Structure 1
């Protein structure tokens, strides 16, 4: 008998804002939470039995938040209250350090906190104040963490379809004596991207994956590139195309699978190389974040 069951946790930003879970084939949909304030990023701590998500709130209002529930939707709790983060986007659970990381779009920063919402830190500050906020190249959206390599990755998407998006990297922790606004260890890995959104790492293969909402042919895609190419520059490879505003991305490296969401309400499954693409859910509302988790058999969801 299998010792674990696999579930996908998906956010839907329309219809009042919902968190739901499904099997990897799209069956057995269960709505866990409603009434989320434009939810965007989701992460699962399967061992502790918690699902976390970000609420963008009203983007101009600096009223974003982060919430948590049990795997079955019980015990809903706000851990980062409204106003501590401006417009939180993709959320990443880093299991080794027991931290949550997220991109704060209009806040123009990358942040983290402990799993109870304490010790909120700003790790990257790409701009300050209303004038900088109007410059969308400063908006931080996607985030991923490589605790073994010691790196933090994030995307700065730029204006819609402008071809000014970037993916950057720095150390997980602030260098001694430096500030989030003046870090000397930031590297630009990719620039001139249409509109990069969510990031995911395959640490074993040392491969970075991301969604892009920009115009075709390079936009509305899923892409990947090696973190340490053996011979020359990192060259992105387009894996999936013709998404309808692609947003969320989660990987299953053990079974060579990825799952992707778009704002048209579709969830796609495909191989990590983009092969065998299929829709497992369609027309589910405006879908944003997605996370995969392996849960002990018998877990209530």
Structure 2
């Protein structure tokens, strides 16, 4: 989700002509919507995206940019699109395959650049606002072997336009405490390459699963979300970027009532003290996200004597099961589960 002061004219400074709108992605329906901050006047802006993940608004130019992850995490067909802020004049500016799985995107209007992270591409990238001059700034890995290592996945990105620095996250495996936040100069030092840069520093490490970033330039404070388990995960965090301080958790347990609920079976059935006596189960996991929790649950069911069938889709992500119109593997998964149910 992103926020915009939608101005009716680039030349009009009148604050009465400023309308505050929230723009957000709906990946399950492949749409982008906008609404007022109080939730009213909800409007579909764009339809038929290809797993949208990041969005950025150029208020003055009246443009909306978004990333499409593509048809699946194992396929190199991500793209970036642009449209007018009302959804018209839509065009692809970064073609399919020029980026693997683009995630969060940031706009640098002053320099005329877009920055984004490419998860399975294991890269931090940028291009001009019209999609030309695509560059790789950070390369955390290359090839299929590296691609299977979540510590190399670049997810969130933000930029310090004043000091010309780039910040990004590499989330690591599910709840493994291997998530990191990095910083480097935006421009690659002379004689260096995206895969071999001496100016990269680790700001924070040992995080559950840091994902999206935002930088408050005025106060020099970095904010990020973490999707791991509580107490440190499932949180919104902040830290000063110019001081060596521990991150501060601002919002926590959004899904749970408190830290004690981490061990409650209502939060995750794998946390139940005993699984004995449960009916047969079908456990489906995807290659990206929540795989480890699913495997843990299946193992505990089996240990408790519960008949369990497991199926893994290595090229997919959480939520793919509901996207049969876009992802063929979702239809395969539904058919296999239906056959399993009929055979009970």
Q: TM-score range by the shorter chain?
A: 0.7 to 0.9
CA distance in 1, matches of 2:58, 2:246: 33
Q: Structure 1: which 5+ runs fail to align?
A: 246-285, 287-301
Question: 2: CA distance between counterparts of 1:150 and 1:34?
Answer: 35
Mapped pair 1:143 → 2:157? yes
Instruction: Report Cα offsets for 1:82-118 as digits up to 9, x if no partner.
Output: 0000000000001221100000000000000000000
| Secondary structure, counterpart of 1:159 in structure 2 | coil
| Bigger strand fraction | 1
Deviations 1:195-223 (A, max 9, x none): 00000000000000000000001111100
TM-score normalised to structure 1 length = 0.79
Counterparts of 2:154 and 2:249, CA distance in 1: 22
Asked whether the equivalents of residues 109 and 124 of structure 1 are also in contact (C-alpha less than 8 Å), the reply is: yes
What is the match of residue 84 of structure 2? 70
Specify which structure has the higher proportion of helix.
2
Q: How does 1:111-122 map to 2 (within 5 A)?
A: 111-122=125-136
Change (3 A) 1:26 1:203: same
Deviations 1:245-297 (A, max 9, x none): 9xxxxxxxxxxxxxxxxxxxxxxxxxxxxxxxxxxxxxxxx8xxxxxxxxxxx
Q: How does 1:243-262 map to 2 (within 5 A)?
A: 243-244=254-255
**Matched residue, 2:250:** 239
The residue matched to 1:137 in structure 2 has which SS?
Answer: helix
Q: Which has the larger radius of gyration?
A: 2
Which of 50, 55, 61 lines up with 1:48 in the alignment?
Answer: 61
Alignment of 1:134-283 (within 5 A): 134-229=148-243, 233-244=244-255
Match of residue 28 from structure 1? 41
Match of 2:144 among 130, 134, 138: 130
Detail structure 1 runs of 4+ shifted over 6 Å in the superposition: none
Q: Secondary structure at the match of 1:67?
A: strand
- CA shift digits 1:129-162 (9 cap, x unpaired): 0011111100000000001112100000001111
Contact 1:102–1:112 at 8 Å: present in 2 too?
yes
Match of 1:265 in 2: none
Shift of 1:244: 4.7
Q: Distance in 2 between matches of 1:242 and 1:81?
A: 39
1:211 alignment partner, SS class? strand
Maintained 8 Å contact 1:157/1:195: yes
Q: Distance in 2 between matches of 1:77 and 1:36?
A: 12
- Structure 2 residue runs of 5 or longer lacking an equivalent are 1-14, 257-318, 320-344
- CA deviation digits over 1:167-214, x for unaligned, max 9? 000001100111000001000000000000000000000000000000
Superposed CA RMSD in Å reads 1.5
